[in-house]
Amino acid sequence: MIVQGDLNLLFRAGLRKDFLDEILDYEPEYQDYLKTGTMSGPEIAATIMVGMPRLYELGDGEPIPYDDPKMGPKVMAVDKEFGLGFMLTRKTVEDDLYNKANQSAKWLGHALKMTQEVRSAQLLDDAFAGSTFKGIDGKSLCNTAHTLINSTATVANAAATPVGLSIAGITTLMNLAQQCKDENGDPHKVWPNKLLIGNSASQYNKALQIFGTEKEPFTADNTDNAVKKRMPKAQIVMSHYMTSTTAYFLIDDKQNDCHFLVRRAPLFEDGTDFNTKAALYSVSARWLIWFVGWRGWFGANPS
């Protein structure tokens, strides 16, 4: 509980009027790499159905063979609840000369946003380890050996030998996208349109150089920039909340299967404690961050 002694300066005249209490937040970032939506129950389940593979060659008069669609495993996830509040004594509110102690909407709104962003970025930080977030094959979001439902082949969407953000690094991820397979082990079309980087000025500058020029950067040969031709309308987005400043990802928005699902929208509440007459302010929310399929993502995690 906040009592007068905690904010004693607010009860003295003479403080400058322009308090440095404004919170300048970045625009929401998690929506750049997570599909947002809602969920109607406390848990959600998903699976993948796989159609038949290639046709069989038939001899003259041979009957047509029949096969069955394949069903992947059922995966489930449960939302999490988050909340925070604070209390102000009545005297603190009454004697505040600057009306600054009671800024519940501003403070709690900022705390809510930071929680959403940091929790979402944890999926990025775990994308290569898979310690917390795993897909339908039980592997990390970006992995060098994804297993398939109807094939013994494995597929990579993580660079086996990752290098820093560069023409070579982006080309490696584009090649992985081009070699993507479906659950039967057949070619699967993926078309990345977004580059996601961490909070690094060096990475951001390199990204602008790679996708901002018609000629290949970092060379003296004046060669056409093949990377830009392969991703002519690349969108560059940054996560200021991802821990790594060297990892980067190519994302196909149409096939991105990473989600931020709201079970209960942020609920701001206020009240008064009967015994102490203190003012109570709180915010709570429920949401789920998860993914099932991995084909919309291709990543590199250089040290």
pLDDT value at 178 more than 80: yes
Domain 28-51+68-300 part of CATH 3.90.1690: yes
Q: What is the pLDDT of residue 116?
A: 97
Strands (DSSP E) contained in 180-278 are 194-197, 235-238, 248-251, 258-272
Model confidence at 191: pLDDT above 80: yes
Q: Which residue has the higher pLDDT, 10 or 144?
A: 144
CB atoms within 10 A of CB 215: 11
How high does pLDDT run on average in the chain?
88
pLDDT value at residue 96? 60
Mean pLDDT of 248-260: 98
Long-range CB contacts (< 8 A, 24+ apart) of 264-267? 264/81, 266/112
**pLDDT over threshold 70, residue 6:** no
Q: What is the mean pLDDT of residues 172-193?
A: 96
pLDDT at res. 25:
80
pTM of the predicted model over 0.85: yes
**Mean pLDDT, rounded, for 125-152:** 97
Kindly report the backbone phi and psi dihedral angles of residue 177, in degrees, each rounded to the nearest multiple of 5, phi listed first.
Answer: -65, -40
The domain segmentation of the chain, as residue ranges, is 28-51+68-300
Task: Read off the pLDDT band of 15 (50, 70, 90).
Answer: very low
Is residue 279 packed enough to be buried (19+ CB in 10 Å), middle (13-18) or exposed (0-12)? buried
Residue 1's pLDDT band (cuts 50, 70, 90): very low
- Reply yes or no on whether the pLDDT at 39 is more than 90: yes
pLDDT of residue 12: 40
- Residue 250: the pLDDT is 98
Select the more confidently predicted residue: 54 or 248. 248
Contacts (Cβ under 8 Å, ≥6 apart) of 106: 21, 23
Residue % of the chain over a pLDDT of 90: 69
Task: Specify the pLDDT at position 20.
Answer: 46
Query: Which helix (H) or strand (E) covers residue 286, if one does?
Result: strand 279-291
Residue 214 has pLDDT above 90, yes or no: no
